[in-house]
Structure formats: structure tokens, C-alpha cells
Amino acid sequence: MNETWTPLKLLAWTQGYFARAGVDAPRLTAELLLAHALGCDRVRLYLDFDKPLAEPELARFRALVKRRAEGEPTAYLTGVKEFYGRAFRADTRALIPRPETELVVEAALAALPERGTALDLCTGSGCIGVTLALERPGARVLVADLSPDALALARENAERLGARVELHQGDLFAPIPADLRFDLVVANPPYVPAPEVPGLARELQREPALALDGGEAGLAVTRRLVAEAPARLRPGGTLVVEMHESHLEVLPALCLAAGFASAEARRDLGGLPRYVVARAKA
Ligand code: GLN
């Protein structure tokens, strides 16, 4: 077979193939993978739209298409994910940054003074803490994770993006110096209720279970986080925590029971309850 494959022809074919295979955003996914195979950006694909691909480029692209159709997330194939306008490195060491978490960052920024002190727990790729450090260069930002692998990825992201963050490995607040008090504690902990984990999309099954599985009711980690947070916050400080949609009532109640002065659940752009903002007593 001596067919010539131009970017346009390949994208059209792959889009249809992905659609039939049940892959999300088939056109965008085809573009991201083709750009990755060619080592260019997506705009370039359309500048060179009728220039036939060389065989090694085609082979690279075919291998990526196959792996994507088999359920590997696009970000793990390309090794990058855009978050808050920046390119974060993504791989199987941590959860892939999600657009809904950008709202958590917005709420966190609103609560972080110019020269304030912030702590990002369960940092994973580092996307929250690194973004805070870059958006608030005068603030002091600590990030922590239980997983040494995740923390290594967070370190790479901080270094590549030029963010100054202090990294700590350990369980929630355990590795954080006991005398520090924060204006802001933020976290995207594992919050998927354990019974839902086996039913998650196959793409999510490729992400670390440690980053997703929140135990019974999805609150195992969040419960401890909320209970320990008041002692680590300054008076009037803020806790922002991403949550499962089923936590709309229970999480604000847990915050109030832990001694917070107020707690408000907020929704994501899809209208689902997605994070809580709790204020410590003044
Ligand atoms: N947002 C993830 C999902 O799609 C869950 C992330 C988490 O548990 N922190 O289910």
C-alpha cells in the first residue's frame, strides 16, 4: 500500500476512529497526538496540512493512536497537560491536572494575601501549589504528598516552570513544621468513594489509585484533613478542598464540626458540587 498520508487526511481518519472507539474529544485528541508524533504544536499541523508524513512519523503516530484507543489518557501519551495556562508535565506518578481544579486555584488565590503563607496537601503533579507560587510570587508556598513519586513530579514541574515551592513528603500535615501557621490550606485529596472506583472510566483506571480512592464514602482522607486543618491555620485563614459531588451537604457539616466559622460548598462549570471553602475563626 503506497497511500500518502497528509496531516489533514490522517486527522480526519483518526477522528472517526476515535469517535467509534468511544474516545473523548476525538478531533482534539487526534491533533494533540499528531503534534506530539511530529514534535510540533497543533497550529503547525494546519500550516503543513498537505505535506505527506514520512514513514517514521507515521509509525510513531500509529503507535500513539493504538495506545489511546486502548484507554491510555492523552496526557500520559504526550507527557503534558495544560493547567491554568501553563504546560505541566504529566505521567503515571500522579493524577492528571483537571480543569475543575482551576476553580480550586481561583478560590485559593482569592484567600491568599500577596505575602501570605500557603500549604497545598496531596499536591500530586504540583499543579495547585506551583500555580499559587507563580501567581503570588510574594507568597511562601509549601507542598506535600504521601507519594515520593508524585512529589518528584511536583519538583520537576516547579523547576521547569520556575516556581519557588518547599516540598515535603509525608501524610497530610505530618511532615509540615509544627510551628507554621497558614493563611491558606488547599488540597485535592483522593475523594472518589471506594465502591465507585472499579466503575470509573478506563482512562481513570490508568491513574494512581492513591490519588483517587477516598475510601468509604470518599471521605477517609478529607475527614482527617478537615479535623487537623484548624490548628494549622491563622485566625481567619481559609481551607479550600476539592470534593466529590456527593459531599455537598456532608463536607460543610464536617468543617463546622471541626470548628470552622463558616463553610460553603461551590459548584464546578458543569454545575456539580466540586469544592468547599471554609473560614477559620477570626
Ligand atoms: N476529579 C477526579 C475524577 O474525575 C477525582 C480526583 C480526586 O479524587 N481527587 O473523578
185 lines ligand 1 (CB under 6 A): no
Instruction: Express the helix, strand and coil content of the chain in percent, nearest 5 each.
Output: 45, 20, 35
Please check whether residue 108 is in contact with residue 240, taking contact to mean a CB–CB distance below 8 angstroms: yes
* CA 131 / ligand 1 centre spacing (Å): 19
Residue with the smallest CA separation from ligand 1 atom 1 is: 98
Pocket test for ligand 1, best of 242, 243, 251 (most atoms within 8 A of CB): 242
212 lines ligand 1 (CB under 6 A): yes
pLDDT at 1 over 70: no
Pocket test for ligand 1, best of 96, 101, 188, 272 (most atoms within 8 A of CB): 188
Pocket test for ligand 1, best of 83, 96, 98 (most atoms within 8 A of CB): 98
Q: What is the mean pLDDT of residues 175-199?
A: 97
pLDDT at 205 over 90: yes
Phi then psi for residue 22, to 5 deg, are: 75, 25
For residue 247, how many C-alpha atoms fall within 13 Å in the half-sphere facing its CB? 29
98 lines ligand 1 (CB under 6 A): yes
Pocket test for ligand 1, best of 206, 212, 268, 272 (most atoms within 8 A of CB): 212
* CA 204 / ligand 1 centre spacing (Å): 9
pLDDT at 3 over 90: no
pLDDT tens track for 246-277: 999 999 999 999 999 999 999 999 999 999 99
> β-strands 182-187, 166-169: how paired?
unpaired
192 lines ligand 1 (CB under 6 A): yes
190 lines ligand 1 (CB under 6 A): yes
Q: What is the mean pLDDT of residues 57-68?
A: 97
Confidence at residue 49, expressed as pLDDT on a 0 to 100 scale: 86
| Of 139, 168, 154, 147, residue with least CA distance to 221 | 147
187 lines ligand 1 (CB under 6 A): no
Closest ligand 1 atom to Cα of 213: 8
Please check whether residue 197 is in contact with residue 212, taking contact to mean a CB–CB distance below 8 angstroms: yes
pLDDT tens track for 116-138: 999 999 999 999 999 999 999 99
Q: For residues 243 and 266, give the distance between their C-alpha atoms in angstroms, rounded to a whole number.
A: 10
Q: What is the mean pLDDT of residues 54-83?
A: 97
188 lines ligand 1 (CB under 6 A): yes
Q: For residues 273 and 245, give the distance between their C-alpha atoms in angstroms, rounded to a whole number.
A: 5
* CA 211 / ligand 1 centre spacing (Å): 8
Q: Which band of pLDDT confidence, cut at 50, 70 and 90, is reported for residue 140?
A: very high
* CA 212 / ligand 1 centre spacing (Å): 6
pLDDT at 2 over 60: no
Phi then psi for residue 143, to 5 deg, are: -130, 150
Q: In which order are the strands placed within the sheet that holds 166-169? A: 166-169, 140-145, 117-121, 182-187, 233-242, 273-279, 262-267
Mean pLDDT for the chain overall: 97
Q: Which band of pLDDT confidence, cut at 50, 70 and 90, is reported for residue 34?
A: very high
Q: Which band of pLDDT confidence, cut at 50, 70 and 90, is reported for residue 26?
A: very high
pLDDT at 196 over 80: yes
Residue with the smallest CA separation from ligand 1 atom 9 is: 190
* CA 94 / ligand 1 centre spacing (Å): 12
pTM: 0.95
Confidence at residue 48, expressed as pLDDT on a 0 to 100 scale: 87
